[in-house]
C-alpha cells in the first residue's frame, strides 16, 4: 500500500488541485461554504496521506523531517477548523516536491544522454570472415568488429582497416568530426558519421573510456562536500528547534497574551520554518556542475573537488604530453644541395625502417607521397644514427657529433643553422649522401594548439602562479616557459623531486593543482590539493586524479577552473536565498498579521524552486 501511494503522488497532487478549484467555485460561484469545506477536507486528507507516511518513515530512522512539520500543521489546522489553509498547504507541498523532482532530473540529463549513447550490440567478424550481430557483453578483447556509417562504435580499439569521420562529442565535448584511418584509436560511444571501419577490440564495457566516464560521474554525483554534510547536520538539529519554537511561542501567545490566534501562529511557524531550500541548494549546484563538466569533456570526481579547485591559486604543469603534444614533429628543414628530392627520398626510405620517435616524426612529415627506395646493408650506429646503402649510394643519418666522426665536412652556414635550431629546442638530424650533407632537420615536441590562449584564460580566472616541472633538460624547459610566460620553470627533475616541490608550495599555504599524464606524474598528482590528468594519459595517472580532461584536451582546464569558481558562488547564492526566505517568513509570521499559512507556504515553495532554477544555470556555463 505504501509503495502504491508513493507511486500515485503526482495523481494525488492533481486530484487535490481539482478539489481545491471545486471548493473555491462552491464558495464564490454558488455561495455554498459547507460544500466548499467538504472539498477542502477531502483535498487535505488525501494530500496529507503520502506526506504523513514519509514523515513516519523518517521517524523510524530517527530523523525529524519537513514532512512531519507539515503533517502536524495539517492536524492543527483541522483542530482549529481552517480547512482551506490545510488543503492549500498540502497541495503546495506536494506540487513543490513534484517541481523539485522534475527539475532535479533535468540536471542529470547530461549523464542520462551519455548512458543512452552506449551501444548494446556490435557486428562481430568471425574467423571465417562472416559477420554476426552480438551483444556488447559477448565481445572479448582482440575481437574484430565492423562499424558502418551511422553506427555507434561499441568498444575502445584500433582501426585495422577502413576510413571514416568520427563524431567524438560524447567523449570530448567537441562537435568537429575527426578523420580516422588505419592505426587510429577510436572510443566506445562515439558515432561513425561516414565510412566503414574494422576495429580490433582493446577495451569493452565499463573498462572503455566511455564506461569510465559514466562510472566516474555517477560516483561524483553520489559524493557529498563538506558544505552539504554541514547542512545535513544543521537541518537535523534545526527542524526539532522549529517544533520547539512553535510550541513555546504558541504557549506564550495563548497564556501570556491571551491571543486567540496563538495556535494558528504556532502551526504556521511549523510549516514555514523548515529549511527545505537550504537542504537542496548546495546539492543542486554541485550536481549541475558535474553534469556540465561531463558534457564539456571535464570529469570531476566529486563535490569536494569542486570546492577545492575553486580555491586553487597555483597550477603546476608537467611538460611532455601536457603542455606539449608528447610526440616530436619536424619543425624546420634546411637544404644544402639543389637536389632536394633525392635527399628527402633516401632519408624517408631509411627512416621508414626504424621505430625510433625521431624517425617516425620524419616519415610522418614526408608522408606516403614520398617515393620509397629499397634499403640494404642497414646498420644502427652507436651514438644515435643509421648507416645504409640505397640505390648504391651511402646514406648516413645522425646528429652533428656522429657526422663529424665520419669526417663529413660541415660548413660555417651549416654549423650556424645547427646552433640556431638547437637554441630553439630542436633535436638535430643530418642527412649525408656519399659524404655530402643534403639537409639538416630540426625536430621537437610541439606545444599543444591553443595553450598560450589557455594560459591567458586561466590568468583571468585569478590563478596567480604557473609553474613548469619537467625531467627534460633546463634549456628545453626554459623555452616552453618563456613562450607561455610561466612564473617559474625547473628541469632535470625526478618524480620524487616534483612531489617534494609541490609539498613545499603547500607548506607555504598555497592551494596547488598539478596537471600531468604519465606514470611518473602519479606521485605529484597524489601530492597536490587537486590532481588533474590528461584523458589519454596512463591508467595510473587517471586513477589517482581528481579531475580528468577527456581526450587530452588541455584547453578544457580553464573550463574546469571557471566552472568550479562559478559553482561555489552559485552554492553560496542558494544558501543566502534559502536563509533569507526562512528567517524572513518566520519574522513575518511573528510580527505581522497578514502572513497566513497558505501565503507563507506559497512563498516557501517558491524559495525551493528559486534555488533549483539558480543551480540549473550551471548547466549552461561556458568559460569566456
pLDDT attached to residue 250: 77
Q: Which of 396, 225, 400, 221 is nearest to 293 (CA)?
A: 221
**Cβ atoms 451, 323 nearer than 8 A:** yes
Helices vs. strands in the chain: H and E counts, helices first: 23, 20
DSSP class of 152: B
Contacts of 379 (CB under 8 A, 6+ apart): 386, 387, 388
pLDDT attached to residue 505: 93
pLDDT attached to residue 433: 93
Q: Which residues of the chain have pLDDT under 50?
A: 107, 110, 172-175, 220-221
Q: What are phi and psi of 333, to 5 degrees?
A: -125, 130
Q: Please, is 140 exposed, middle or buried when counting C-beta atoms within 10 Å of its C-beta (0-12, 13-18, 19+)? A: exposed
pLDDT attached to residue 544: 66
DSSP class of 254: I
pLDDT attached to residue 200: 92
Residues with a catalytic annotation lie at 318
C-alpha cell at 615: 543551480
pLDDT attached to residue 558: 94
**CA 379 vs CA 348, 357, 359, 394, 455: distances in Å:** 16, 18, 15, 11, 45
- Measured CA to CA, the distance from residue 609 to residue 478 in angstroms comes to 53
pLDDT attached to residue 118: 66
pLDDT attached to residue 175: 44
Does the pTM of the predicted model rise above 0.85?
Answer: no
- Measured CA to CA, the distance from residue 372 to residue 385 in angstroms comes to 19
pLDDT attached to residue 173: 43
**CA 587 vs CA 263, 573, 582: distances in Å:** 17, 21, 9
Q: Which domains does the chain have, with CATH numbers?
A: 2-108+220-286+568-620 (no CATH), 140-203 (2.70.150.10), 299-325+448-566 (3.40.50.1000), 326-446 (3.40.1110.10)
Amino acid at each position: 500500500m505504501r509503495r502504491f501511494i508513493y507511486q500515485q503522488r503526482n495523481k494525488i497532487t492533481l486530484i487535490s488541485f481539482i478539489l481545491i478549484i471545486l471548493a473555491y467555485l462552491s464558495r464564490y460561484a454558488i455561495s455554498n461554504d459547507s460544500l466548499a469545506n467538504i472539498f477542502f477536507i477531502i483535498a487535505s486528507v488525501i494530500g496529507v496521506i503520502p506526506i504523513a507516511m514519509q514523515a513516519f518513515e523518517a521517524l523510524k530512522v530517527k530523523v525529524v523531517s519537513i514532512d512531519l512539520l507539515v503533517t502536524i500543521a495539517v492536524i492543527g489546522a483541522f483542530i482549529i477548523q481552517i480547512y482551506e489553509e490545510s488543503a492549500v498547504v498540502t497541495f503546495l507541498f506536494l506540487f513543490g516536491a513534484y517541481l523539485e523532482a522534475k527539475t532535479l532530473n533535468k540536471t542529470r540529463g547530461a549523464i542520462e544522454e551519455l548512458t543512452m549513447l552506449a551501444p548494446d550490440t556490435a557486428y562481430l567478424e568471425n574467423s571465417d570472415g562472416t559477420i554476426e550481430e552480438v551483444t556488447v557483453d559477448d565481445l572479448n578483447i582482440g575481437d574484430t568488429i565492423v562499424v558502418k556509417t551511422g553506427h555507434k562504435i561499441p568498444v575502445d580499439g584500433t582501426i585495422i582497416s577502413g576510413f571514416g569521420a568520427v563524431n567524438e562529442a560524447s567523449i570530448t565535448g567537441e562537435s568537429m568530426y575527426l578523420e580516422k584511418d588505419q592505426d587510429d584509436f577510436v572510443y566506445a560511444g562515439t558515432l561513425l558519421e561516414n565510412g566503414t571501419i574494422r576495429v580490433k577490440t582493446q577495451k569493452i564495457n565499463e573498462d572503455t573510456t566511455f564506461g569510465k566516464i559514466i562510472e566516474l560521474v555517477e560516483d561524483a554525483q553520489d559524493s557529498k562536500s563538506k558544505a552539504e554534510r554541514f547542512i545535513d547536520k544543521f537541518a537535523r538539529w534545526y527542524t526539532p528547534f522549529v517544533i520547539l519554537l512553535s510550541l513555546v511561542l504558541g504557549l506564550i501567545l495563548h497564556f501570556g497574551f491571551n491571543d486567540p490566534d496563538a495556535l494558528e501562529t504556532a502551526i504556521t511557524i511549523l510549516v514555514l520554518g523548515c529549511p527545505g531550500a537550504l537542504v537542496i541548494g548546495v546539492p543542486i549546484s554541485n550536481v549541475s556542475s558535474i553534469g556540465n563538466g561531463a558534457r564539456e569533456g571535464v570529469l570531476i570526481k566529486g563535490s569536494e573537488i569542486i570546492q577545492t579547485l575553486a580555491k586553487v591559486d597555483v597550477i603546476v604543469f608537467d611538460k611532455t604530453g601536457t603542455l606539449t603534444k608528447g610526440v616530436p614533429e619536424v619543425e624546420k628543414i634546411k637544404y644544402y644541395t639543389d637536389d632536394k628530392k633525392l635527399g628527402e627520398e633516401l632519408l624517408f626510405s631509411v627512416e621508414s625502417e626504424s621505430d625510433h620517435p625521431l624517425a617516425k616524426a620524419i616519415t610522418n612529415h614526408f608522408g606516403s607521397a614520398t617515393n620509397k627506395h629499397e634499403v640494404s646493408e642497414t646498420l644502427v650506429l652507436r651514438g644515435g644514427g643509421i648507416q645504409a646503402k640505397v640505390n648504391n649510394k651511402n646514406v648516413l643519418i645522425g646528429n652533428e657529433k656522429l657526422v663529424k666522426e665520419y669526417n663529413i665536412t660541415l660548413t660555417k652556414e651549416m654549423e650556424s643553422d645547427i646552433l640556431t635550431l638547437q637554441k630553439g629546442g630542436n633535436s638535430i638530424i643530418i642527412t649525408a649522401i656519399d659524404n655530402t650533407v643534403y639537409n639538416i632537420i630540426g625536430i621537437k615536441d610541439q606545444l599543444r594548439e591553443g595553450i598560450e590562449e589557455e594560459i591567458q584564460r586561466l590568468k583571468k580566472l585569478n590563478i596567480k602562479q604557473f609553474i613548469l616541472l619537467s625531467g627534460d633538460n633546463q634549456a628545453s624547459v626554459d623555452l616552453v616557459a618563456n613562450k607561455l610566460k610561466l612564473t617559474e620553470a625547473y628541469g632535470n627533475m625526478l618524480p620524487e623531486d616534483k612531489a617534494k616541490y609541490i609539498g613545499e608550495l603547500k607548506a607555504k599555504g598555497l592551494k596547488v593543482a598539478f596537471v600531468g599524464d604519465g606514470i611518473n606524474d602519479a606521485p605529484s598528482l597524489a601530492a597536490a590539493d587537486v590532481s588533474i590528468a590528461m584523458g589519454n594519459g596512463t591508467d595510473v595517472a587517471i586513477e589517482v586524479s581528481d579531475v580528468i580532461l577527456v581526450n587530452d584536451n588541455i584547453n578544457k582546464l580553464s573550463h574546469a577552473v571557471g566552472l568550479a569558481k562559478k559553482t561555489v558562488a552559485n552554492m553560496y547564492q542558494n544558501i543566502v536565498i534559502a536563509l533569507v526566505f526562512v528567517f524572513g517568513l518566520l519574522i513575518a509570521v511573528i510580527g505581522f498579521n497578514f502572513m497566513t499559512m497558505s501565503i507563507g507556504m506559497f512563498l516557501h515553495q517558491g524559495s525551493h524552486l528559486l534555488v533549483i532554477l539558480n543551480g540549473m544555470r550551471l548547466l549552461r556555463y561556458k568559460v569566456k
